[in-house]
Amino acid sequence: MKKHNFNSGPSILPQSVLQQSSEAVIEFNNTGLSILEIGHRTPFFVEVIEEARSLVKELMQLDDSYEVLFLHGGATTQFMQVPMNLLDTNETAAYCDDGIWGTKAYKEASLFGNVKVVASSKDKGYTYINKDFEVPSDAKYLHITTNNTVEGTQYHTIPNVSVPLIADMSSDIFSRQMDFSKFSLIYAGAQKNMGAAGVNVLVVKKDILGTITRPIPNIMDYRKHIEAGSLMNTPPVFAVYVALLTLRWIKESGGLAEMERSSIEKSNLLYHTIDTLPQFNCKIAVEDRSRMNAVFFMDDTNKEAEFLDLCKKEGMVGVKGYRTVGGIRVSMYNALPLESVVAFTDLMKRFASC
């Protein structure tokens, strides 16, 4: 039976990436060595990480005022590493709280300085993006989460602000075209749109660094990682290589323009199906619905459990909602083919007609 992988992360990878990475586990680039056993400072791996860094900047159309790092710890580590590098004890940072990850981010930041939550959608159960806010003129930066994996919301217009803009793009990075130069710092766990779990990509405008007085441990200091070319300590070699293969696949498939076109097609099909079947309902404000993670429900919880059981039987993997939200969640990352969404919507129609 064919499996349709809607996991929210770690998530589906392109078949070509799976093939190439599996071959590299046996032998990498005719070296006689596995990718798992090459030295991270050898020319073999340095070429990998340099190409990956270059592709990130190319896809984002960023100049040399930005640096790209591949770091351990995933995006969650950045909840504290960002303020550690950017926020002094007597300074204030602005945060938008549009879901669980934004909440975690501002709570971690509060350990390093003052935090002002300038916008929140908690009042309506995080079912929309609060766009009505002002950023204090003395704020060191504004932090947003561009896509909320758990709640199913997404920024479709990036805020224009007069302070450095910081973004957690873990679940929608490389899924659409945008002016990435609006951001002073972007971070993302790789395991949704750009590779396997185990590495975090960070894109930073270098001129925002070095402004705080607090000592920073070397391993947490972005400047030290820039100086070392992401090789300050042993990086997650295999995860970086899978990220490189995925970045190549994005470029070869048509770049961010094609990723966006495909994303719109898949999400439009799913949301149209939800909206036309009375058994299903999506509580998210239409203008803020995520193209990456559709979160929806059935009014009859018994029917919902029955539908989820049917999904398992039909090879629909990873569609149960997040534990704190419940319902149904369908993740539609870059590598998910349209045919999987077609199969899922056909199943919804079949179930609704019974």
The active-site residue out of 192, 221, 266, 288 is 192
Nearest to 197 by CA among 245, 151, 239: 239
Instruction: Please tell me the distance from the alpha carbon of residue 147 to that of residue 129, in angstroms, as a whole number.
Output: 10
Q: Show the beta-strand stretches assigned E in the chain.
A: 4-5, 66-71, 92-97, 114-120, 139-145, 147-148, 153-154, 165-168, 185-189, 200-205, 280-281, 293-298, 316-317, 328-331
The encoded tokens of residue 293 equal 């993670």
The active-site residue out of 98, 168, 172, 288 is 168
The active-site residue out of 98, 101, 205, 288 is 101
Residue entry with tokens 């405008």: 205
Give the gyration radius of the chain's Cα atoms.
21
The encoded tokens of residue 99 equal 């879901």
Instruction: Please tell me the distance from the alpha carbon of residue 333 to that of residue 346, in angstroms, as a whole number.
Output: 19
**249 in active site:** no
Q: What is the largest CA-CA distance in the chain?
A: 65
Residues contacting 26, CB < 8 A, separation 6+: 34
What would the DSSP string read from start to end of 106-132? HHHHTTTSEEEEEEE-GGGTT-S----
Residue entry with tokens 């820039």: 226
The encoded tokens of residue 87 equal 């926020």
Angle between helices 237-252 and 255-276 (to 10 degrees): 80
Q: What is the set of active-site residues?
A: 101, 168, 192
